[in-house]
Structure 1
């Protein structure tokens, strides 16, 4: 068993500090408006929408799925502060947190900028950050409420996870690049990172084309500023992940591994999560999409999802191999007591 699954020092965190408890409660509060709105839609109440756009089996299924996603995010936030969260297998927290990072990071980065840019440059529009696709059947206040909640959830989950990780796996954040493993497996990892990195250029270029105003394959443009910012973020974050992976697999100096690890985490997660969402949205043929051709979005989503999954697998192998190597040599430090 590696340090990632260690429960040493659990007693130190049986009483989480005020900061971590405050963050947990904040995340729970931030989920309430979104959950309430989705429940109302599932119950057939057209709150904040025009007509019956949220009715029918398709949209009910979509709303139930997103309710489940938000409940998982709330559960993860509790696990980050409660003792049971340090006792469960690491992947039960890491995987949903990685997926949540992928969904929320582009929104946290892009939505405020898109809202500001829309208000300044798109005269005659609402100026609300509507993400990549913004149907006119939904009232502007819905987007303001939902995306504000997403931003606050993202910031809260990130803060809570950082504090949890610092106490549970803090030694990983102190790794130096020269400590990462070398050998035949490292060569395979370098090749995979380079190959997938080249492949990632394809969906990133398509997103840049959409960001620049291209209409091919984009079923709802929204306002120009929103599209520019959000698709620019969707294009660049996967490339940030590729850059982090290339540094981690081609390490040559004694610099800290923390920054490329974080870049790889965020970039691979955003590529996988939004790719998965676009594929699911296209296959479901949501009523919000109308009669538009969803195949280009599905194709781009498939490429993003595949690239994110493969690079994340390589990232997990790098971390696991380093942990095994350090544990075997007796150099892996014990966990530090929680500080918050």
Structure 2
């Protein structure tokens, strides 16, 4: 067993284990609310609270199953596209959440956590800590275990240098790379306090800036990694580097914008009194829609370059 496989094994089991506290906390919230032993979150009725937390329990279960699938023998028998897509989206979400945990620790806890109780009592500190540890552990676990799984299932995907698998002349790929990089630069610009495109500067906070900085950085990384894998000139860069960064970066671009796009559209249409976003909603919606498409196109490019690597250059590969 290689060093990467051993690290992936420990990371995957660790991710599954560390997600258990989050799952148990959510189960306790549902059972306690139904039994009348625990308060319901602000702004929720009993039915809405139960449905919301039941969905998150299901998502946690999928995450645990996904982590185990990356290291257990039965995971190699699952449909490759299903495993890859779930891990791609999951790791894309979580790599952007890790800096939140760091920021929260440095600041000694956020002051704007949503209260869980209908009586405005904040979430107990130990619950918040366990939930944070669960997210951080799952994120780190998937980031380490996913490349190991990909290399075991598709060995040639990490083989050789990242050179000339497919000439980087496809207009669609070029469009996706340029759009992804441009979106990333806009988010980084907002993160450092740029005013253009921000409709409500007073609503900006540290979390918003960190999220824009992290997502912007991953968007730029995704574009650079995708472009490097479609270059026609040789490079000494090991292939596993752009493959790993490309999958994580495109996953972040697709997953976060895929989640924030409907939220932005909802705020723009419903104009709720208790919800406001700093950025101009039209600009934000346009960026998120473009990010979803660019992330998906770059992901397909990564798949095609991998297929080209596995099958060999003698077989034709359709340009994206």
- Which bin holds the TM-score, normalised by the shorter protein? 0.7 to 0.9
Question: Superposed, which structure 2 residues align to 1:111-190 within 5 Å?
Answer: 111-117=100-106, 119=107, 127-128=108-109, 134-135=113-114, 139=123, 141=125, 142-178=127-163, 180-182=165-167, 187-188=169-170
Among 235, 240, 245, the alignment partner of 2:226 is 245
Q: Check conservation: 1:196, 1:307, Cα contact below 8 A.
A: yes
Indicate the larger mover: 94-103 or 165-174: 165-174
Deviation readout 1:307-338 (Å, 9 max, x if unpaired): 21121112212222332225869xxxxxxxxx
Task: Name the structure, 1 or 2, with higher relative contact order (CA <8 Å, separation 6+).
Answer: 1
Aligned to 1:308: 295
Among 165, 178, 194, the alignment partner of 1:198 is 178
Aligned to 2:76: 86
Deviation readout 1:116-155 (Å, 9 max, x if unpaired): 55x2xxxxxxx3369xx85466537354332221111122
2: CA distance, partners of 1:231 / 1:238: 10
Q: How many residues align?
A: 294
Shift of 1:94: 1.0
Would you say 1:275 and 2:257 are equivalent positions? yes
1: CA distance, partners of 2:190 / 2:138: 27
2: CA distance, partners of 1:170 / 1:26: 24
Shift of 1:174: 1.9
2: CA distance, partners of 1:20 / 1:247: 25
Aligned to 1:69: 59
Shift of 1:44: 6.2
Shift of 1:248: 1.4
Indicate the larger mover: 299-308 or 38-47: 38-47
Aligned to 2:275: 292
Q: Check conservation: 1:102, 1:266, Cα contact below 8 A.
A: yes
Q: Check conservation: 1:129, 1:144, Cα contact below 8 A.
A: no
Alpha carbons of 1:19 and 1:207: their partners in 2 closer, same or farther (altered >3 Å)? Answer: closer
Deviation readout 1:22-51 (Å, 9 max, x if unpaired): 544422221122122333444463999885
Q: Check conservation: 1:177, 1:257, Cα contact below 8 A.
A: yes
TM-score of the superposition, structure 2-length normalised? 0.75
2: CA distance, partners of 1:24 / 1:149: 13
2: CA distance, partners of 1:24 / 1:56: 35
